[in-house]
Structure 1
Amino acid sequence: MVVLLKGYPRLSETFIAQELRGLELAGFKLELMSMRRPTDKKRHPVHDEIEAPVHYLPEYLHEEPLRVAKAFFHWLGKPSFRATARAFLKDLPRDISRNRFRRFGQALVLACEWPDGADWLHVHFIHTPASVGRYAAQLLGIPFTVSAHAKDIWTSPDWELSDKLDDARWTVTCTRGGADHLRTLSGHPDKVHLSYHGLNLSRFPSPARAPATRDGSDPNDPIAILAVGRAVPKKGFDILLRALALLPANLHWTFDHVGGGDELQTLKPLAEELGLAGRVSWHGAMSQQEVLQRYGKADIFALPCRIGKDGDRDGLPNVLVEAASQRILCISTTISGIPELFVDRENGLLVEPEDPRALAAAIESAIRNPWERDRMAGNAEAKVRGHFDHKTSISDLERLFSSAYSTAAIEERSQS
C-alpha cells in the first residue's frame, strides 16, 4: 500500500507517524510518497522506527521538468489519461490556479513512478493531497482512501469535498464534528467513518506526580503554565498572552511555549508590550521526548483554540490528549472536537474562543485551587487511557482496509 502525505516527516504530525508505525506492526507493507521534503530540523523517535521507504514528488513542477515531462508522455494517449484529464478540466474552472496544475502534474509523476506490486493508495488530508491521490488513482485504475483531519476539511470548498468523498472507497476522520460535516456532503454518508487518533500510551506512561500544592502565592515556587503548538492564528496564543496579562499581580507563574511558527514574530513583541517578557520563555520546536519532559514540569496546559478567518481550525489537538495523559489540567475552548474529550469542570476547563477575560478567569481559578486541578486532571487522564488508545484507531483502520480489499477483490473477479 502506498501512503501519500503532504510532507514527511513533520514534528507537528506525530499522530500520522504513530499511525504509520501501527499499520506496519499490524502487518501492512507501506511505501510513503510525500509532496514536500522535510523542513523540521528534529525528528521524533517514531520516525526512526518506521521501516517504509520514502519517495518525494516534485514539490514544484518547474524544479524537475524532465521528470514531469517523462510522466506526461508516459500517460498521454492512454484511456485512463483521457478520463483523468476530463476530471481535471472539470475541476479547473472551479479552481483556476497554479496549485491545480501542480496537483495534476504531481499525480502524473506519482502514477508513473508507482511502486511495483502496490495495489492501494491511502491519502492523509482531504485537500491538496487528496487531489493528487484522486487523479493518480484514476490514472492507475486502483482504489484510494482518505484520512481527513481538520484544516483540510474546513478550508476546502464543498464541491471538492463532495467529489473526493464520492470517489474514495471510504474516508476516516478524527472528530465527530468533522465526520458529521463530511457526511452532509457525501452522496454515500456510510462511507465516512469516525476514528479518534489516540496516543501510543507506551510512549506516554502514567506519571508519578505528587499531589498538587502550588497555588501561585509563593514567588519562589511559581505555577508552571505550558502551551505546545505551532504559532499559527488558530492556536489562539495571542489570546493566551492577553489573558495572562489580566491575571492578578499577586499570582506568581511562568509560561513556556514549545513550537515553531511564523506568528512568533508577532507573539514575542506582544509579550513585551503586555509586560510579560520576564515570565515567558519561547523554546521553539522540540522532539516528542523533549516535550514529554516539559509535560512533567507543568501544572497547567493552556491551548485557547479558535476558528481562523479562513475557516481553519483544529479538530482535537493531539497535544491536548498528550497533556491529559500526563495528568495535567488542560484549559482550552469549546470549538471542534475539544468537547469530545473534555467536559467543563469535570476533567478540564473550557471557555468560549476569543475571550481573554474568560480565559484569565479559568487560569486564575486553576492556579488558586490545586486540589481541583488534581481532581480534573485525574479524570482527564482516566478518560484518555480508557478511550484514546491508538490501538483502537489502528484496529479501526485494519477493519476498514480489510473490508475494502475484500470488496475490491470481488469487483475484480466479477469484471474478469
Structure 2
Amino acid sequence: MKRYPRLSETFILNEICAMEALGEHLDIFSLLPPEPPPHHPLVAQVRAALSHLPVTWGRKLVALGRGHAAAAAASPAGYARAFSHALRLSVTSAPLLSSWRQFLRAGFFASEARRRGITHLHAHFANAPSEVAHLVSMMTGLRFSFTAHAKDIYLTPPHLVAGRIRAASFVATCTHYNVAHLRGIVPGDQHGKINLVYHGIDLSRFRYRAPPYEFAAAGQPPLILCVARLVPKKGLDDLLAACAVLKRQGVPFRCRIVGAGPLRDQLATDIAARGLDRLVSLDGAMTHERLIGLFAQADLFALPPRIAEDGDRDGIPNVIVEAMATGVPVVSTAISGIPEVVEHERTGLLVPPNDPRALAAAMTRLLGDPALGRRLAAEARARLEQCFDCWQNTRALRGLVGRLTCEAVEAPDTAPDTVPGIVPDTVPDLAPDLAPDLAPGTALALSPGITLAAAE
C-alpha cells in the first residue's frame, strides 16, 4: 500500500509481526512517509527497517536521480523494459501522471532492492504498490507477488489488475469472493496463481468473554459498538437510521461509532436531525489498545457495509473479526466476503445492505435475546480459531513465498470450512507446521506500499 504505518491497516501489521516472530528478517518499503500518530502499539515491536522517499522535494529529487541512475546502469535492458511499460500505460491505460509517478518510485526502490540483496518482492494492494513492484521486477529481474484486498481490486481497471496477475509469481487475496472475481478477469491458465489467504488476528491478544454474560451490565443500557472509517461504503447512515428505529420503538441502547473520515460532519448533522444526540456518539479514531478495551464493554457490534456507487466495497472488515474474537455478537450485511466469516444464524446475523429496518430488527432481536448472543459468540470464536488465526495464515503466505512455484489448484465453490487460512488443496503441503522455511538469502516482501524482506 502507499503508507506504513497506518492505524487503519492492522491486518498488515499483524502479518509483519507474525512473519518476524516466525524468524524472518524483513525490510519494509513504503511509497509514502509514515502516517502521523497515533500508531498501533505493535509498530514499536517491528524490527524491520523502514525505507521511503525523502519528504522534502530537494532530497527526494536527489534520491530519485541516484536511484534511477543506479537502476539503469545495473540493467540497461531491464530499465528499458520498465520505461517502455510505463510509456505504454501512460498512453493506453493509466492516467499520465500516475503511470510516471510509479515509474519514478520504482527506480528508487529497484536500487534499494539491489543494495539490500532482496530476491523476492511482495506488495500489498493491487493498485499503485503492485504496479511499483511490477516495474521493480522489470528493472531488476526479481520475482514479485502481491496481496489484493478490496478497494484496490474493484476501483482499478480490470485489465490493469489482470496484467499484474499475469506478471506476478502468485497472488494472495483475503476472501473467496475476491478469488472468484480475480479468476474471472484472467484466462484459465492464470487461475492457479490466485490463492485465498484470510487475514488473521493474534487471537491471544483478544480475551474472549466466556458465556454466559448479560447485556446491560451494571444497569447501563446495552452498548452497540461500530468501528469504521467514516466513508460511504461503511453504511453508517443506515446504522443511524436503524438507531432511530430503535429509539422510536423504545428499545434501550447507546451507540458509539469509532473512526475518522470525510463523512464526520454529515453524520454529526444526521445524529442531531434524528434526535440521537444523547444516544449516539462519534468518538473519532483511537489506538488499538483502547479499542480492545472498548470491545470488552460492548454488548453488540454492528457494521452495515454496502457497495458504494463507485464500486468500492469491503472485503472482510478486520473489526468484525476482532469483535467476534472478544465474544461480541455481530450484525452485518451480506455483501462481499462478509458471509465467509459471519454465517447467518450461526456466527452472527446478516441483513441486506441499504436496509435500516432489517438492521434495526436484527439488533433488537440480539439485544432482547442474550441466549442467542451467547450461542452466536461461541460459534464465532470457534470459526476464527479454525480459519482466521494470524499464525496459521502467515505460515500459509510464507509457504507461498518459499515455494515460488505457486501452482495452486482450483478453489472450491464455497469458502473453506476446515483448513485454516487457505483454500483446501490450494497449496497442498502448507499445513501450519509443515510450511517450508525460506532458504538463507531468500527475500520476502511484506508490508504496506511495497514491503521487501530479506530472510536470514
Q: Offset at 1:132?
A: 0.9
Aligned to 2:420: none
Match of 1:72 among 54, 58, 68: 68
Moved more, 112-121 or 320-329: 112-121
Equivalents in 2 of 1:239, 1:345: separation in Å?
21
Amino acid paired to 2:81: A
- Answer 1 or 2: higher relative contact order, Cα 8 Å, separation at least 6: 2
**Residue deviations 1:355-405 (CA, integer Å, cap 9, x gap):** 111111111212222221222122212211232111121121121111118
Match of 2:45 among 30, 49, 64: 49
Q: Offset at 1:211?
A: 2.2
Percentage identity across aligned positions?
34
Aligned to 1:172: 172
Aligned to 1:106: 105
Match of 1:343, SS state, is: coil
Aligned to 2:206: 204
**Residue deviations 1:49-85 (CA, integer Å, cap 9, x gap):** 1100001135797882222233333344711111111
Q: Offset at 1:406?
A: 10
Q: Contact 1:60 / 1:102 at 8 angstroms: preserved in 2?
A: no
Q: Which runs of 5+ in 1 are unaligned?
A: 410-416
TM-score normalized by structure 1? 0.91
Aligned to 2:34: 38
Equivalents in 2 of 1:60, 1:352: separation in Å?
48
Aligned to 2:410: none
Q: Contact 2:14 / 2:200 at 8 angstroms: preserved in 1?
A: no
Q: Contact 1:196 / 1:393 at 8 angstroms: preserved in 2?
A: yes
- 4+ aligned runs moved over 6 Å, structure 1: 59-63, 405-409
**Residue deviations 1:270-312 (CA, integer Å, cap 9, x gap):** 1111111111122211122111110011000000011111211
Alpha-carbon RMSD across the aligned residues, in angstroms, is 2.2
Equivalents in 1 of 2:87, 2:269: separation in Å?
47
Moved more, 69-78 or 334-343: 69-78
Match of 2:11 among 3, 8, 15: 15
Aligned to 1:326: 326
Q: Contact 1:137 / 1:144 at 8 angstroms: preserved in 2?
A: yes
Q: Contact 1:212 / 1:373 at 8 angstroms: preserved in 2?
A: no
Q: Offset at 1:36?
A: 1.5
Moved more, 367-376 or 191-200: 367-376
Aligned to 1:270: 270
Match of 1:192 among 191, 194, 213: 194
Amino acid paired to 1:325: A
Equivalents in 2 of 1:106, 1:329: separation in Å?
44
Aligned to 1:183: 183
Match of 1:81 among 62, 79, 83: 79
**Residue deviations 1:334-356 (CA, integer Å, cap 9, x gap):** 00111001121222111111111
Structure 1 residue 241 corresponds to structure 2 residue 240: yes
Moved more, 28-37 or 198-207: 198-207
Q: Which runs of 5+ in 2 are unaligned?
A: 408-437, 440-456
- Distance verdict in 2 for CA 1:58–1:318, change over 3 Å: same
Amino acid paired to 2:100: F
Equivalents in 2 of 1:406, 1:316: separation in Å?
24
- Distance verdict in 2 for CA 1:98–1:229, change over 3 Å: same
TM-score normalized by structure 2? 0.84
Amino acid paired to 1:64: K
**Residue deviations 1:310-337 (CA, integer Å, cap 9, x gap):** 2111101111011011111101000011
Q: Offset at 1:42?
A: 1.4
Equivalents in 2 of 1:204, 1:40: separation in Å?
26
Moved more, 78-87 or 34-43: 34-43
Aligned to 2:21: 25
Q: Contact 1:316 / 1:338 at 8 angstroms: preserved in 2?
A: yes
Equivalents in 2 of 1:405, 1:47: separation in Å?
32
- Distance verdict in 2 for CA 1:368–1:175, change over 3 Å: same
Equivalents in 1 of 2:171, 2:330: separation in Å?
30
